[in-house]
Amino acid sequence: MGRAFNFSAGPAVMPEAVLQQAAAEMLDWHGSGMSVMEMSHRGKEFISIYEQAENDLRELLAVPAHFKILFMQGGGLAENAIVPMNLSQGGAMDFVLTGSWSQKSEKEAGKYGTTRVAASAQAEGFTTLPDPATWQLGADSRYVHICSNETIHGVEFHELPDLKALGSDAPLVVDFSSHVASRSVDWSRVGLAFGGAQKNLGPAGLTLVIVREDLMGQALSHCPSAFDYKLVAENQSMYNTPPTYSIYIAGLVFQWLKKHGGIAAMEQRNIAKATLLYDFLDSSSLYVNKVAMNCRSRMNVPFFLRDESRNDAFLAGAKAANLLQLKGHKSVGGMRASIYNAMPLDGVQALVAYMREFEKTQA
Ligand SMILES: *Cc1c(COP(=O)(O)O)cnc(C)c1O
């Protein structure tokens, strides 16, 4: 059957050109006589790969000079502990609960300080975003945490909150795991952003942290050295061995993004893909998406069949049509189409065509 359209939430679809390049370079990278995974992380070959990746990412995301880019490990979930270990100073932290991922972050941070819920959309089943004007932000807050794209509930902040305008001096911490590089970031509103690579940047194993310099150097004394942002930054993310192969592949993805017009062009493509899918869902009498219009995710589109007894038939037909991994997260059920940067418009068109045909057979 060849390569399918893969709607997995993560690890997820990669640009085919990147996989081909990695395959071509697998045994002998640029005449070095080695695969990238066989190189010393301190050798000049890998250092050049690392520096190119960091520079390309800084350029793509327009990361200002007073932010450090760290390539870490442990995934988004480890950052739920690493962030409070580095930023809380044992004090209070405010969380905005908009779905499963921000809930997890709040729970984990409670091990390192006092967490407070500034706002929650739980009563609405996480189908809306609480209006920032209603957030209860503490004056003594060490930081305010949001998940800017809730991968499971399909809720996205289309604009980051301006905490200063809300009367708070606390830095904003953003979990952008599942929509990093899908749109531009207003760094003037951000203190720290983190994300696992396996949704939109590359293979699992690499965790991206972008942190304002003045927030480093205040880690709790029991914070593991390998997770102390200041130490990691001082050692160019090589305090210990970084996930070298994942960094290399992410670097190829950054090159691919640049070649295809950068983040602005990617954002336009993502808008076109999401609009196609949501417009179809809204016009259908079989499928439904329950998320409020103003906060629908461009990356993760959960939807339900109004007749849930047809779920298995829907998934089996999709698989036969080479449309994979559409089953929704077990905590919410239904279906989910993740349409990250590397999902071409063709893939969303094929999905919509299949869904339209399936709906006809249900009449
Ligand atoms: C996937 C995901 C995580 C967890 O990432 P791991 O790499 O599995 O730890 C955290 N936050 C969000 C928003 C995610 O989508």
> Residue 5 falls within a domain, yes or no?
no
Which tokens sit at 11?
């690890």
Mean pLDDT value of segment 349-356: 98
By percentage, how much of the chain surpasses pLDDT 70?
99
Residue 154 covered by a domain:
yes
92 phi/psi in degrees, rounded to 5 = -95, 150
Question: Structure pTM?
Answer: 0.98
Q: Are residues 252 and 240 in the same domain?
A: yes
Q: Which atom of ligand 1 is nearest to the CA of 147?
A: 13
Pocket lining: 77 vs ligand 1, CB cutoff 6 Å? yes
Sign of CA dihedral 266, 269, 270, 271: positive
| Residue 101 annotated to the active site | yes
The preferred substitution site among 71, 82, 101 for testing ligand 1, maximizing ligand atoms within 8 Å of CB, is 101
Q: Is 101 in the pocket of ligand 1 (CB under 6 A)?
A: yes
Number of compact structural domains in the chain: 2
In a domain, 2, yes or no: no
Tell me, using a 6 A CB cutoff, whether residue 46 lines ligand 1.
no
Q: Which of 175, 228, 273, 327 is catalytic?
A: 175
Of 144, 232, 249, residue with least CA distance to 193: 144
Burial class (CB in 10 A: 0-12, 13-18, 19+), 294: exposed
**Ligand 1 in reach of 199 Cβ (< 6 A):** yes
State how far the Cα of 251 lies from the Cα of 58, in Å rounded to an integer: 12
Nearest atom (ligand 1) to Cα of 176: 13
What radius of gyration do the chain's Cα atoms show? 21
Asked, as a colleague might, if the bond just before 11 is cis with ω within 30 of 0, I would say yes
- The residue count of the chain comes to 363
Pocket test for ligand 1, best of 72, 77, 82 (most atoms within 8 A of CB): 77
102 and 239 part of one domain? yes
* Intra-chain end-to-end CA distance of the chain, in Å: 30
Q: Which CATH number do you get for residue 338?
A: 3.90.1150.10
Q: Kindly report, residue by residue over 11-38, the tens digit of the pLDDT.
A: 999 999 999 999 999 999 999 999 999 9
Q: Are residues 85 and 149 in the same domain?
A: yes
Query: Is 280 near ligand 1, meaning CB less than 6 Å away?
Result: no
- Shared domain for 266 and 254, answered yes or no, is no
pLDDT at 336: 98
Which domain covers residue 102, as residue numbers? 17-259
State which of 216, 237, 259 marks the end of a domain: 259
Is-contact 257 60, C-beta < 8 A?
yes
The reply to whether 68 falls in a domain is yes
What pLDDT sits at residue 363? 66
In a domain, 214, yes or no: yes
Indicate the residue among 236, 259, 282 that finishes a domain: 259
Q: Decide if pLDDT at 209 tops 70.
A: yes
Q: Which of 199, 230, 273, 327 is catalytic?
A: 199
pLDDT at 105 over 80: yes
153 in ligand 1 pocket by Cβ < 6 Å?
Answer: no
Distance 335 CA to ligand 1 centre (A): 19
- What is the reported pLDDT for 1? 62
What is the domain-level CATH number for residue 163? 3.40.640.10
Q: Are residues 35 and 91 in the same domain?
A: yes
Model confidence pLDDT, tens digit, residues 139-191? 999 999 999 999 999 999 999 999 999 999 999 999 999 999 999 999 999 99
Q: Is 76 in the pocket of ligand 1 (CB under 6 A)?
A: yes
Same structural domain for residues 134 and 276?
no
Has residue 286 got a pLDDT over 80? yes
213 and 316 assigned to the same domain: no
Which residue, by CA, sits nearest to atom 12 of ligand 1? 177
Residue from 29, 101, 135, 256 carrying the catalytic annotation: 101
pLDDT at 120: 98
Residues 225 and 296 in one domain: no
Mean pLDDT of the chain: 97
One domain for residues 193 and 268: no
- 237 with 291, same domain: the answer is no
Q: What is the pLDDT of residue 220?
A: 97
Ligand 1 atom 7: residue of nearest CA: 75
Residues 165 and 269 in one domain: no
Q: What is the mean pLDDT of residues 266-270?
A: 98
- From 237, 259, 281, the end of a domain falls on 259
- Residue 7 domain-assigned (yes or no): no
Tell me if residue 199 is catalytic: yes
Residue 23 lies in a domain: yes
With a cut of 90, say whether residue 2 has pLDDT above it.
no
Cβ contacts of 314-322, under 8 Å, gap ≥ 24: 314/358, 317/354, 317/358, 318/351, 318/354, 321/350, 321/354, 322/1, 322/2, 322/4, 322/5, 322/350
Instruction: Decide: 313 and 339 in contact? Cβ < 8 Å.
Output: no
Contact call for residues 182 and 270 (beta carbons, < 8 A): yes
Q: What Å distances lie between residue 245 and 79, 108, 229, 334, CA to CA?
A: 21, 29, 21, 35
55-82 mean pLDDT = 98
Q: Are residues 266 and 189 in the same domain?
A: no
Could you tell me if the CB of 10 is within 6 A of ligand 1?
A: yes
Rounded distance between C-alpha atoms, residue 55 and residue 68, angstroms: 11
Q: Please report which confidence band the pLDDT of residue 312 belongs to, taking 50, 70 and 90 as the band edges.
A: very high
Question: If you measure from the C-alpha of residue 146 to the centroid of ligand 1, how many angstroms do you get, rounded to a whole number?
Answer: 13
